[in-house]
Homo-oligomer: A and B are copies of this chain.
Amino acid sequence: MPGAPPNPPMWGILPMTRDAETDSAVAKPVPPSGVLGILGGGQLGRMMALAAARLGLKTHIYCPDPESPAFDVTPRKTVAAYDDRTALAKFAACVDAVTFEFENVPAETAEFLAARTMLRPNALALAVAQDRLREKRFFAERGIATAPFAPVGDADELAAALAKIGAPAILKTRRLGYDGKGQSRIERADDGARAFEALGCQPCILEGLVDFTKEVSLVLARGRNGQTAHYDLAWNRHENHILRQSTVPAAVPPECAQRARDIGEVLLADLDYVGVLAIEFFVVETPAGTDLLVNEIAPRVHNSGHWTEAACPTSQFEQHVRAVCGWPLGECRRTVDAEMTNLLGAEAEAWPALAERGDSVLHLYGKAETRDGRKMGHITRILRNGLDTGNRN
């Protein structure tokens, strides 16, 4: 919010549920008919709003895009920029808690809201997840293995980083960028300068390539009083840097799954985290056995957890709502095996055939405009049923 004075007392109203203790120890939950504010009106905000509705909660979606799909399922909305302090102050004054669907909430926005209402997950989680270098260092400080990495702020650092990590390697901007945007592969060390320039000489991180056998992710949650819950690991396949499919269970050794959960618990505790957190891992084979490297975290519900709505008593969306509203966490057990496939762009136009699949749960996001590669929906195939009853003719 450039140019604006820091934290003006726009409304002067502090919600009743605000407390001065740590974020995870909150006395008073948001009750049914209370209002959960959500920054972002895409499919994740929409699915959180649907989950909140099922718990009797109201949602207030804040998004600059007037065509946001989440607006169709919420009683209250604000169409405004994320740096519009007047709109933010009004929003904060009429919600009981605020969460978000994307990790790139500007730090100033997060601070502004956190001063006025409960922001969950907290600003620390956002700050760590927004900056690839800070994120990697956060892991390293805790002995959590990652791909080799080095900071790239200028040409000298670039040279040092390439000397340390070698090529091929991936140069990524520290901030922003998702689904493969904001990154460039360096095949040979003398391609480095060109790649750095292609990224606008922004602050970057150079990451070594990892020879992984598969990618898996862990979706877990932390609620009030430090209660935690985790879903089963999902095995993820990407195409063109976009998630294509997630399958549960992921075939990884039990000790590997346990290691993922241990890492998750450390991150949840050290971030004083409240809400659903997703952690992406590379599975690597080493002489000592199967091991995990953390790729990145997302302080929000995650595409690789969409299968939970079809396979668990509590979906990741409901779990996140429960956590950020101070409710007890819900049950994460899978009742079936499942495989979630994203429907990208025109693929969703095959909805009549997709809706016909008797083994699948279809979810479409109600987006008006189809664009290449745009996430339009997903479909979760149920791979194993406990029972076989009821029928269609």
Interface residues of A (CB under 8 A from B): 29, 31-33, 46, 50, 53-58, 71-75, 227-232, 249, 310, 312-314, 322, 327-337, 348, 351-352, 355-356, 358-368, 377, 382, 384-393
Contact = CB atoms under 8 A, between A and B. Distances in A.
Contacts of A382: 313, 335
Contacts of A31: 351
A310 to B, nearest CB: 7
A226 B229 CA distance: 45
State the 10 A-B residue pairs at the shortest beta-carbon distance, nearest first.
Answer: A386-B386, A56-B364, A332-B390, A72-B75, A229-B392, A56-B366, A328-B356, A331-B358, A333-B390, A334-B389
B387 A333 contact: yes
Contacts of A367: 56
A364 B325 CA distance: 15
A367 B33 CA distance: 8
Contacts of A314: 361
A335 B336 contact: yes
13 contacts: A56-B377, A57-B366, A73-B74, A73-B75, A227-B392, A228-B392, A229-B392, A312-B390, A327-B355, A330-B358, A332-B390, A336-B386, A386-B386
Contacts of A74: 72-73
Given A73-B73, A377-B56, A337 B227 contact: no
B227 A335 contact: no
Contact of A386 (B29, B227, B328, B384): B384
Contacts of A50: 50, 53-54, 73
Contacts of A352: 29, 327-328
Contacts of A312: 390
